[in-house]
């Protein structure tokens, strides 16, 4: 079933955007959404999760690599391997394969972190 739309605008996505961005709206906009459509700001429980930064993603993948290395004694990870880090699945094999392909774009610090784990380039 397709989401309801008016002139190509997904009404569900638009409504969610208004509710999530409530504090950025002008008071008149808030009043209109509230009084005309019955919309209000999202509650704490409805807030979307904060977007992870590139540094956060790197830290998560590095933690997975350290965990794998500590358990297996090497960092020769199959491409499709998924490492469970504290109940969070991390696609470690794909990450390491992609990192090898982009090694020239890594910072010296990140390159050294993987070197310390015995990364084969």
The token pair that represents 24 in the structure block: 């950025």
What is the average per-residue pLDDT within 54-64? Answer: 95
DSSP readout, 19-56?
HHTGGGS-HHHHHHIIIII---PPPGGGSPPPPPPHHH
Our measurement of the distance from residue 20's CA atom to the centroid of its chain's CA atoms, rounded to an integer in Å, reads 18
pLDDT bracket for residue 77 (50, 70, 90): very high
Q: What percent of the chain has pLDDT over 90?
A: 79
């Amino acid at each position: 079933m397709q989401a309801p739309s008016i002139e190509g605008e997904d009404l569900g996505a638009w409504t969610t955007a208004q509710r999530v961005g409530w504090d950025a709206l002008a008071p008149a906009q808030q009043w209109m959404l509230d009084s005309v459509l019955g919309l209000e700001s999202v509650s704490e429980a409805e807030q979307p999760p904060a977007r992870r930064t590139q540094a956060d993603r790197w830290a998560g993948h590095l933690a997975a690599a350290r965990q794998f290395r500590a358990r297996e004694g090497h960092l020769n990870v199959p491409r499709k391997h998924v490492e469970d880090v504290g109940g969070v699945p991390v696609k470690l094999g794909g990450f390491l394969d992609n990192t090898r392909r982009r090694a020239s774009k890594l910072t010296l610090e990140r390159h050294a972190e993987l070197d310390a784990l015995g990364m084969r380039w």
